[in-house]
Structure 1
Amino acid sequence: MSRPQRAVQPRTPAEHKARALGLTSATGLVVGSVIGTGVFTMPAVLAGGGTSSLLVLGVVAVGATLLAVLFGQLTRRVPNADGGLYAYARHEFGDFAGYLTGWCYWVSAWAGNAAIVSSWVLYVDALFGLENPPGWANWLIALAGLWIPAAVNLAGVRQMAWFENLTVVLKFLPLLFVGVVGWFFVSSGNFGPFNASGGSLYSAIGIGAGVALFAFIGVEVAAITAKRVRNPGRNVGLASVLGTAASAVLYLVVSAAVMGLVPHDTLVGNGTPFVPAFEAVLPGVDWAGKLVAALAVISGIGALNGWTLVTSEVSRATAADGLFPKAFAWADRKHTPWFGVLVAAALPSLLMLWRYTADTGLTVFTFLVNLSVVTVAIPYFFSACAQLTHLVSRRRGIRGLLLARDLLITGVSVLFSMWITFAAGYAAVYQALVLLLIGLVLYAFLNARRGPREDKQEPEVRELPRAA
């Protein structure tokens, strides 16, 4: 039995230069993309469901880690893994499935950028003491959060990687402070009830599941940017698992600490829960709240920096195969898909303008979180099914316990992807379905321009015999 082919390695100096992400930078990209400003808002949302939300967060962390393992296996197996989840689906199921996967992930990526920046705006308001600013003011702040990372990405992949590593270090400082020092000031009386939803336990799980699932979106970014990673067959999987595991531990420790530092009634609905958490650890220190707000702002810029790259990379890979408008494959001399970068900043800018005319604060954040969760669940599902197809076929080269292990990982990933969709709620599924249908209209035009495939002959038209 022949071994599966590994991902294609660069063969020219230009391609080698384009692979600017080593293991450290790839891991930093995963951590930077997973941990954005959402973590600075997450404890307040989790508190709405009660302490049961921490158990939900732990379950989601396990599922996300298994997905990270799955993406590493797929990257090693698929000969051309450029584009990650899109490439896996196209390799196993063909162009149409590849397009649907790429389209849904692309929508999830830029909608997720809008969710990140909506949380980021809350901390900018806290940093500068802006109380209940008008929607247009928050929109202008959001524009800065979206277009500064776009400018960094346009400067080149190496500059993006340097900026990402710096912001990862800076974002870890307040999280580690709360996760370590904060536990010395935790009060058991601050924790809310196990079920604080006011309804059934199922309702409490739903509250925690949405934000927890969103918090782990990003486990796949090393796979999406495989073309930019050196030795992707090894580093993509390793970076995905290391980055996801580190993020999971930090999420659990920090979220529990904040829920124990801030009284439950104060925490629920608070858009900047880390501010009172720091003030609880450092009472009487006027600049404590400002410091955490500043670090949250830096963290958000770092997350948006990484996600701008991811958004442009998935559209570039899809366009390079003729399944997206050609403009998304346009690249400058630094191999930066500049058109995709600009669109990755423009679309969430327009989305934020629309949302800020109707809602503000956590309402905007929650809406965008649910939309991103559903649209990313579809690519996760396609990727897991692609691996399942391989494992149950005769093409696989593994047997025995290794096959059982891989089937377990893949089976859990399939169920986890389905649960993500279910947990996001009916409204989010409806909105995602509308976006999916819009994507099908675009595919109709793209497919018509491509013409018939070389391996697909037009059916021969035969005349029916005439009746006597």
Structure 2
Amino acid sequence: MSHDIGAPRQSGSRVLPPDVPASVSAGPPTTGAPAGPETGEPRFGLGTASALVVGSVIGTGVFALPSALAVFGPISLVAFVLVTIGAIALALTFRDLAVRLPGAGGPYVYARDAFGEFAGFLIAWSYWITAWAGNAAIVVAWVGYVEVFWNTGHEAGWSIVIALTGLLLPALVNLLGLRSFAAFQVVTTVLKFIPLVFMATIGLLFINTANFGDFNASGTSWLGAISAAGAIALFSYLGIETASVAAARVRDPKRNVGRATVLGTLACAAVYILGTVTVFGTVAHDDLVSSTAPFTDAANVIFGGRWAGATVAAAAVVSGFGALVGWTLIVAEMPRAAAQDGLFPTAFARQNRAGVPAFGIVISTLLAAGLTVVSYTSFEQVFITVVLLSVLTSVVPYLLSAAAQLYWLRTDGRRLRVRHLARDVVVSALALVFGFWALAGSGYAAVYYGTFCLLLGVPVYVWVKARRGTYGETPAVTR
């Protein structure tokens, strides 16, 4: 059948939709060619890429997490350790995948290369939901620390105003271009890390074991408590893949993406676990469960006044804002890569004069704002509800990324030494099991809403494929 009007055009071996300029270059994922900015536009070095990982992972989640985990009691620390092991396995998996396929889009590229277009689309769609829903969760926790200084009565109307401000300003920072983004990301990462390191080191000296409460305070089985707490704890590690998602904007991605991913994850793991232990041991359990700013409460206990808590709250505000700036870029990067391959609406592929995907940033910010308003007006446990939705949709890209690595090891792993092959198989299998465990711990409600959101992408995929005028997969690239 011929298509004289709106017929897809070929760019190399990739079919482009009729309204995507042929000059848009993402490079087919199977080639591993990084897509990205035009020559001469600024790119991230290892330092900024690592700051992107740390800045995206350490947002406000860690600052609100102790309260969410306190419901389960100290058994949640066991879950945190297990999640950390899984996160490190994922980081190592992303490192190896980034060496083989340094193209923009991270998990999207890996899944498309291994399993075809539809898998790649599902990853891009699922991750896109994760990113903007995650921004809603980050901003909810961020509001809790802003309200240490203003709206201390937590009036819902003003909480929504603060939250919307926290979503719109990071969008403006990104729309101004990458130069402002890089500087801001490094500065906020340093400012947030200092108080967390303090709480994770000096704070340990002020622990009172009486504050921990019952080891399993959830009233459920140990396995159930660990699984449920682990699903919440996983939210604190969302973002370890951000360097791979933004690989097109990283200098020497084969070298720097993997290193930034592993270094950033290890740094976050250290302050996460020790900082949470400090909060558990310095704030009484019953007070911690109801706290909206647990690190502030812990600092006030340690120093016996409010100035220390206010300092930590200020750091949390800076931290959350930096994370929102980072995630506002990331939320548009994977859809951009998919759109350049003709697997997402073409508007996501376009960049403004500053070299950023403006449409993706704007539409994602509006969706996050809408979810935030709904959360404040409809959900009793705002933070946990949005967190579990984000975790569920993030598990899909993680699972398929680990599966893609296992697939490659099965088909081409013979080129590796036996010792390295065994190690990589174990790490990838651990990352895969970790993904299923997090999925099981998300709970029925999160699985229901997450699956519903995921399947909403199917009509979008049908529409995109129909616009391209193709049936089945695009022609394969010969390696």
TM-score (norm 2): 0.90
Hey, what's the Cα distance between the residues in 1 that align with 2:100 and 2:474? 26
Q: Deviations over 1:149-196 (max 9, x none)?
A: 111101111211110111111111221222222122211211122111
Q: Using a 3 Å threshold, how does the CA distance of structure 1 residues 9 and 421 change in structure 2: closer, same or farther?
A: closer
Is 2:212 the counterpart of 1:191? Answer: yes
Aligned residues: 447
Which runs of no fewer than 5 residues in structure 2 stay unpaired?
A: 1-29
Q: Give the Å deviation of 1:253.
A: 0.7
CA distance, structure 2, for counterparts of residue 290 and residue 128 of structure 1 = 12
Residue 419 (structure 1) aligns with: 437
Aligned residues of 1:163 and 1:302 also touching (Cα < 8 A): yes
1:8 to 33, 42, 64: 33
Please say if 1:319 is aligned against 2:342.
Answer: no
- Match in the other structure for 1:93: 115
Unpaired runs of 5+ residues, structure 1, are: 458-468
Q: CA–CA distance in 2 between the matches of 1:337 and 1:456? A: 25
Cα distance in 2 for residues equivalent to 1:29 and 1:416: 24
CA apart distance, 1:90: 0.7
User: Is 1:83 equivalent to 2:105 in the alignment?
Assistant: yes
| Corresponding residue number in structure 2 for 1:347 | 367
TM-fit CA distance, 1:443: 0.8
* 1:7 CA displacement: 4.3
Q: Which residue of 2 aligns with 1:109?
A: 131
- Residue number among 64, 83, 87 corresponding to 1:64 in the alignment: 87
1:371 and 1:428 in contact (8 A); partners too: yes
In the TM superposition, residue 132 of structure 1 has moved relative to its aligned partner by 2.9
User: Shift in Å at residue 130 of structure 1?
Assistant: 1.9
Note if 1:28 corresponds to 2:51: yes
Q: After superposition, what is the alpha-carbon deviation per residue over 1:396-450, rounded to whole angstroms, capped at 9, x for unaligned?
A: 5213111111111111111111111111111100001111111001111111111
Q: 2:48 is aligned with what amino acid?
A: S
Whole-Å separation in 2 of the counterparts to 1:6 and 1:321: 12
Partner residue of 2:143? 121
Amino acid at match of 2:61: G
- What is the deviation of 1:207? 3.8
Q: Distance in 2 between matches of 1:371 and 1:201?
A: 23
What residue in structure 2 maps to residue 234 of structure 1?
255
Residue number in structure 2 paired with 1:399: 417
User: Which residue, 371, 382, 389 being the options, matches 1:364?
Assistant: 382
Deviations 1:184-239 (A, max 9, x none): 22112111221111222133213421221111111100010000111100111100
Render the CA deviation track for 1:220-271: whole Å, top value 9, x for unaligned. Answer: 0001000011110011110000000000010011000111111111111211
Q: Structure 1 18/454 Cα, relative in aligned 2: closer, same or farther at 3 Å? A: farther
Preserved contact between residue 19 and residue 230 of structure 1 (Cα < 8 Å): no
Task: Kindly report structure 1 stretches of 4+ aligned residues shifted beyond 3 Å.
Answer: 5-10, 14-19, 453-457
CA distance 1:314–1:148, shift in 2 (3 Å): same
Identity of aligned residues (%): 45
Relative to structure 1, the CA distance from residue 40 to residue 110 in structure 2 (aligned partners, 3 Å threshold; closer, same or farther) is same
Say which SS state the counterpart of residue 357 (structure 1) adopts.
helix
Q: Cα 1:298–1:130, aligned 2, differ >3 Å: closer, same or farther?
A: same
For residue 282 of structure 2, the aligned residue among 261, 264, 269 is 261
1:390–1:102 Cα change, 3 Å = same
- Read off the aligned partner of 2:33 and give its amino acid letter: V
How big is the shift at 1:137? 1.8
> Match of 1:15, SS?
coil
Partner of residue 251, structure 1:
272
Between the aligned partners of 2:136 and 2:349, the Cα distance in structure 1 is 23
Deviation of residue 82 (structure 1)? 1.3
Would the aligned equivalents of 1:44 and 1:271 in 2 still touch at CA under 8 Å?
Answer: yes
In 2: Cα distance, 1:9 partner to 1:142 partner: 35
| Mapped partners of 2:69, 2:106: distance in 1 | 31
For the pair 1:384 / 2:405, whether they are aligned, the reply is no
Relative to structure 2, which stretch is displaced further, 396-405 or 270-279?
396-405
* Aligned-CA RMSD value: 2.0
- TM-score between the two structures when normalised by the length of structure 1: 0.92
Residue 466 of structure 1 is matched in structure 2 by: none
Match of 1:159 among 180, 185, 199: 180
* 1:51 paired to 2:71: no
Q: 285, 301, 304: which one pairs with 2:321?
A: 301
- 1:395: Cα distance to partner? 6.7
2:83 partner SS = helix
Tell me, yes or no, if the aligned pair for 2:413 and 2:421 is still in contact at 8 Å: no
CA distance in 2, matches of 1:456, 1:176: 49
